[in-house]
Structure 1
Amino acid sequence: MIVSRDLQLSIEGDVIIVEDDDLLSNLMMEILSDIGAGCLAFDTADDALIHLLQSHRACSLVIADHGVPGQILGTDLAKMVKEKWPEIAVILTSGHELKVSDLPSNVRYLQKPWAIDSLVSTVREVLHPHGRL
């Protein structure tokens, strides 16, 4: 277990992870599973978008790396998700500094390398913005 049991969250719906680095993708899946999330991981934003469009399952959060292979960047996916599904929380990550002003106002940015505590607290903030667990 990576995360303490007292950090468990009430997460309804899947968490979609878009990360082409297998190590980071697996780490995020383990962290999020430890805090109570059901996760699906994709290497490309293209595949994640297709899943979102075709799935009948609820999604509560998308965590996308900006620089993933494929036709769609993580930033583009973040904008599309917020336009089509405004209720889905979005966290965008990148190893390169991004201009937060270029992102939709309701997309959180988490620069790599991030600490486990930073990821967990950011997930908590976007899923429970008013402090309700």
Structure 2
Amino acid sequence: MIVEDDPVLLPLMVEMLSEVRARIVAFETADGALNHLTEGSSYCSLLIADHGVPGKLSGTQLAALFRAKWPKSAVIVTSGYELAHATLPEGVVYLQKPWAGGQLVDIVVRLLQPGIAFQRD
């Protein structure tokens, strides 16, 4: 699951993660993502959420709710602003923007498949 309100970055993230055969659902708000999570009971192995998305919930608040529902799932919070690690839920990876595409993919692969290196073409 990707939560990102930047209209350029969101499709880019979807494309990058499609390269590692991820099945992706994407939202522009944490509120929309939370609605999706509460409507379905299917497992979600990864959340990537921008901290500063519009709506009632921040990406970090969504990350905390996500970790409560699926404590073993991987969570990445991104932001263009520096966030204090103490403000992040336990076990959440923080990735400050701007980040390189390869950096995001490497983190996702490391979180979802520990010990397996992603081979770029």
TM-score calculated relative to the size of structure 1: 0.83
Superposed CA offset, 1:29-65 (max 9, x none): 0000111101111010011011011124331101000
Whose strand proportion is higher, 1 or 2?
A: 1
Q: CA deviation at 1:123?
A: 0.5
Aligned match for 1:86, one of 66, 71, 79? 71
User: Does 2:83 match 1:98?
Assistant: yes
Q: CA deviation at 1:67?
A: 0.2
Give the whole-Å Cα distance in 1 for the aligned partners of 2:70 and 2:90.
14
Which residue type is aligned with residue 70 of structure 1?
A: G
Give the whole-Å Cα distance in 2 for the aligned partners of 1:104 and 1:40.
22
Aligned match for 1:61, one of 46, 49, 52? 46
Q: Equivalent residue for 2:28? A: 43
User: Does 2:115 match 1:108?
Assistant: no
Q: In structure 2, list runs of 5 or more residues that go unmatched.
A: none
Q: Is the 8 A contact 2:110 2:116 kept in 1?
A: no
Give the whole-Å Cα distance in 2 for the aligned partners of 1:23 and 1:132.
29
Q: Is the 8 A contact 2:45 2:74 kept in 1?
A: yes
Give the whole-Å Cα distance in 2 for the aligned partners of 1:119 and 1:128.
14
Which residue type is aligned with residue 62 of structure 2?
A: L
Q: Give the count of matched residue pairs.
A: 117
Q: In structure 1, list runs of 5 or more residues that go unmatched.
A: 1-15
Give the whole-Å Cα distance in 1 for the aligned partners of 2:111 and 2:116.
11
Give the whole-Å Cα distance in 2 for the aligned partners of 1:95 and 1:127.
24
Q: Equivalent residue for 1:124? A: 109
Runs of 4+ in 1 over 2 A off after TM superposition: none
Q: Equivalent residue for 2:55? A: 70
TM-score calculated relative to the size of structure 2: 0.90
Q: Percent identity?
A: 54
What SS class does the counterpart of residue 110 from structure 1 fall into? strand
Aligned match for 2:16, one of 27, 31, 37? 31
